[in-house]
Amino acid sequence: MTDSNSSLPIPAQLIEQLSSLTGQQKACLAGYLWAESQGAGASIAENISGLAVAPKRKITVISVSATGNAAGIAKKLNERLQSESLNVTLTNASNYKARQLPKEDIVVIATSTQGDGEPPEEGVLLHSYLFGKKAPKLEGVSFAVIGLGDTSYPLFCQAGIDFDTKLGELGGERLLDRVDCDVDFEAPSDAWIEAVVVKLKEVAGGNTTAATTEPATEISIHRESLYNKDNPFTATLLNSHPLVTDNAERTISHIEIDLDESGLQYQVGDALGVVTNNPGEVVEEVLECCGLSGAENINGRTGLITIHEALTEQCDLNQLPPKFLKDYADTVGNKELAALVEDKRKLKDFQAWTPLIGLLNRYPQKLEAQRLYDGLKGLAPRLYSIASSQEEVGEEVHLCVGVVDIEANGKIYNGSASGLLGNRLEEGDEVQVFVEPNPSFRLPSGGDTPIIMIGPGTGIAPFRAFMQQRNADDAEGKNWLFFGNRNYRDDFLYQAEWIEYRDHELLNKFSLAWSRDGEKKVYVQDKIHEEADEFWRWLEQGAHIYVCGDASLMAKDVEKAILEVIAKQGGKDEDDAIEYLNELREADRYQRDVY
């Protein structure tokens, strides 16, 4: 077979070079060649010889990531754009100065969504800037957005929707329609990346300009580790013991995992990813309800697999996607369920508190194996804030895990990963783990800087690590803990350690809130109000604030309390208080690890 270009009177090398030209360059060349054929090439050449190839437009790729997925997409896009010799810079939102946005040329944002439709913590400042009273005009800025989310939640990909909509409203030029990706995001995100590359080659070409990437960040350093989400380390459970009494009516455990010989390194503030699976008895119960033996083969995400294997290793049996619920309701023929899926509020509550087995038992119908599999979410690893410093524990990692209990059919079912760590694993058992960096949740570089730690419930985990690190570093900065839970006697997590830190004057102050110890419920935000004077003094002394825990309720109430303290104690109106807190956030003095 001969080369298809061999019959053309044009060298193949020249054809290859021509294919790299922009549309403008090709048009200019075509005009010159026509003029040359008419004998006027010399005069045309004089006119165009001084024309430099148009400079490449500057492209900024921003990742707004919570668990690393959006960061991975941004990194992959950056590599593809670099391979096309485009002028691209990659950054994450935590390192990006929001006020730079109006000066950009082309901005591409990859963002996930968390909480009640909010951007991940590292993107809060950028989001706040765009939606605030000082929002910029963005005429002349071109943009594209991809959103990552989970259709199990009502505000699917809301952060992506927010960024995309607001960039357009502020005058930006949308280069491509936004793409929203569910938990199985690889295929649609890869397709989006290729579409972006094609578009940017069209609009941003020019002379050869070196592509750039910001200096190596903690994320890129960690991702070079041998072990990660795609290749977890098989570790050993060293120890598990309860942190609450029997009267607490729930299980919260201290977990110790052996990382010996893994080479895994983590910093305080990082999270540990835990690869989980579903209990055999729950899988068998689901199969029985659906009328399946478990031996039926299905087309899974990694090829042909039995439905029993898929339900054990690949499917989330605790979350009910809305699409699956509606499809199930359409065929089960139950009026009650049909009415429920049409009521958004009731549907949200039902999803939150009903595992798959609860649906199957309450509204029974037989299901084909493939239909069952296709309707369920993939079983993703779970992330837990690390509760230890390697300076103190060496080749170990510690977690503080509250077991999630879900009641259905008169029985208690556990969360997949929390049940694995808190109930199913025994000492000596294996568990697959990886480190997920969290560079947006770090101790101040100066050991003499005061810190305020706000972490009710299991949100106390990273602050145990903080104290271990401050102790190891002989840090002289003051430390203040706000902690809350139900009862002082039953669930004061790590009580002995906190008292020891206080007695050794490492912990200078703690403020405790107990919601069930008195007639009135008291929460950490109430303690912030009580300590308003001193809280403000610490801020004025340069204190860093850290918040860890529930994003949808606690973190919002805490932020509201902090803003009220700033306004009252600092003599500011609401807008100025918000601006003050945003300045703290931009200076890394207000950091949150919320979920």
Q: Please indicate, yes or no, whether residues 81 and 157 belong to a single structural domain of this protein.
A: yes
Percentage of the chain surpassing pLDDT 90?
Answer: 74
Whether 401 is in a domain gets the answer yes
Q: In which band, very low, low, confident or very high, does the pLDDT at 519 lie, cut at 50, 70 and 90? A: confident
Asked whether the beta carbons of 498 and 507 are under 8 A apart, the reply is yes
Residue 198 sits in the same domain as residue 70: yes
pLDDT of residue 226: 85
- Check whether residue 469 and residue 533 sit in a common domain: yes
Whole-angstrom CA distances from 338 to 120, 215, 268, 309, 373 are 34, 54, 48, 31, 22
Work out the pLDDT band at 29, boundaries 50, 70, 90. Answer: low
pLDDT band at 134 (very low <50, low <70, confident <90, very high): confident
SS3 481: strand
Measured CA to CA, the distance from residue 450 to residue 459 in angstroms comes to 20
- Residue in this structure with the two tokens 């068998």, named with its chain if needed: 284
| DSSP result, 229-290 | TTB-EEEEEEEEEESS-GGGSS-EEEEEEE-TTT-----TT-EEEE-----HHHHHHHHHHH
Residue the block writes with tokens 């080479």: 263
CA dihedral 582, 583, 587, 589 (to 10 degrees): -70
For residue 455, which of 385, 392, 519 has the smallest C-alpha distance? 385
Mean pLDDT of 242-260: 95
Angle, helices 124-131/574-586, rounded to nearest 10 degrees: 150
- Do 406 and 259 lie in one domain? The reply is yes
Predicted confidence (pLDDT) per residue in 2-22, tens digit: 444 444 456 655 655 555 554
79-83, 98-102, 243-247, 322-326: least confidently modelled range: 322-326
Lowest mean pLDDT among 93-107, 209-223, 569-583: 209-223
pLDDT of residue 484: 95
Report the distance separating Cα 196 and Cα 144, nearest Å.
8
pLDDT at 150: 87
Look at the chain and report how many structural domains it folds into: 5
Please name the residue ranges forming H helices in 388-540: 390-393, 416-419, 461-472, 488-491, 495-503, 524-530, 532-540
pLDDT of residue 323 exceeding 50, the answer is yes
* CATH value at residue 97: 3.40.50.360
Asked if the model's pLDDT at residue 166 lies above 90, the reply is yes
The mean pLDDT value of the chain amounts to 89
How far apart, in whole angstroms, are the C-alpha atoms of residue 337 and residue 335?
A: 6
Domain shared by 308 and 401, yes or no: no
Greater pLDDT, 23 or 128: 128
Q: Is the CB of residue 52 less than 8 Å from the CB of residue 45? A: no
Per the structure, the complete domain to which residue 293 belongs is given by 280-375
Distance in angstroms (rounded) separating the CA atoms of residues 548 and 584: 17
CATH number where 422 lies: 2.40.30.10
Question: For 315-381, where are the alpha helices, taking DSSP H only?
Answer: 322-332, 335-342, 344-353, 356-362, 369-375
Domain closes at, from 163, 182, 215 = 215
Rounded CA separation 256/239 (Å): 5
**Tens digit of each residue's pLDDT (9 = 90 or more) over 112-122:** 998 788 999 99
Q: How many CB atoms lie within 10 A of CB 383?
A: 21
Pairing of strands 179-181, 106-112: unpaired
Q: How confident is the model at residue 217 (pLDDT cuts 50, 70, 90)?
A: very low
- Mark whether 90 and 231 lie in a shared domain: no
Between CA 216 and CA 437 the distance in angstroms is 13
Q: Is residue 54 part of a domain?
A: no
Asked, for residue 571, whether it belongs to a domain, the answer is yes
The pLDDT tens digits for 33-87 are 555 655 555 554 555 444 445 578 999 999 999 888 999 999 999 999 999 999 9
* Residue 1 placed within a domain: no
pLDDT of residue 252 exceeding 60: yes
Domain membership flag for residue 11: no
E strand or H helix at 586, and its extent? helix 574-586
Confidence band, pLDDT 50/70/90 cuts, at residue 26 = low
Quick one: tokens of 246? 């029997």
Q: What is the Cα–Cα distance from 440 to 122, expressed in whole angstroms? A: 6
Contact at 8 Å (CB) between 209 and 55? Answer: yes
Using a 10 angstrom Cβ sphere, with 0-12 exposed, 13-18 middle and 19 or more buried, the burial of residue 395 is middle
Total count of residues recorded for the chain: 595
Report if residue 366 sits inside a domain: yes
Q: Are residues 128 and 231 in the same domain?
A: no
Token pair in block for residue 560 = 């509201």
Residue 37 C-beta-side C-alpha neighbours within 13 Å: 5
502: exposed, middle or buried (Cβ count in 10 Å: 0-12, 13-18, 19+): middle
Which are the contacts of 410, defined by CB distance < 8 A and separation ≥ 6?
A: none
- Cβ neighbours for 194, distance < 8 A, ≥ 6 positions apart: 80
Q: Helices (H), strands (E): how many in the chain?
A: 24, 21
DSSP for 385-427?
Answer: EB---HHHHSSEEEEEEEPPEEEETTEEEE-HHHHIIIII--T
Q: What is the mean pLDDT of residues 231-244?
A: 97
Spatial contact of 524 and 570, defined as CB atoms under 8 Å apart = no
234 and 187 part of one domain: no
Residue 30 makes CB contacts below 8 A (sequence gap 6+) with none
Q: For residue 347, what is the domain's CATH number?
A: 1.20.990.10
Q: Is 194 found in the same domain as 326?
A: no
Fill in the DSSP letter of residue 329.
H
Domain closes at, from 375, 405, 425: 375
In the block, residue with structure tokens 């439709």: 117
Do 168 and 253 reside in the same domain of the chain? no
Asked, for residue 326, whether it belongs to a domain, the answer is yes
Q: Return the closest-CA partner of residue 415 out of 257, 291, 256, 278.
A: 278
Same domain, residue pair 211 and 234: no
In the three-class reduction of DSSP (H, G, I as helix; E, B as strand; rest coil), residue 10 is classed as coil
Q: Is 444 inside a domain boundary?
A: no
Q: What is the pLDDT of residue 301?
A: 83
Q: Global pTM?
A: 0.83
Do 152 and 185 lie in one domain? The reply is yes
> What's the average model confidence in pLDDT over 307-333?
93
Choosing from 355, 375, 395, the residue where a domain stops is: 375
Whole-number Cα distances in Å, 254 to 82, 209, 232, 402, 415 = 45, 53, 21, 9, 17
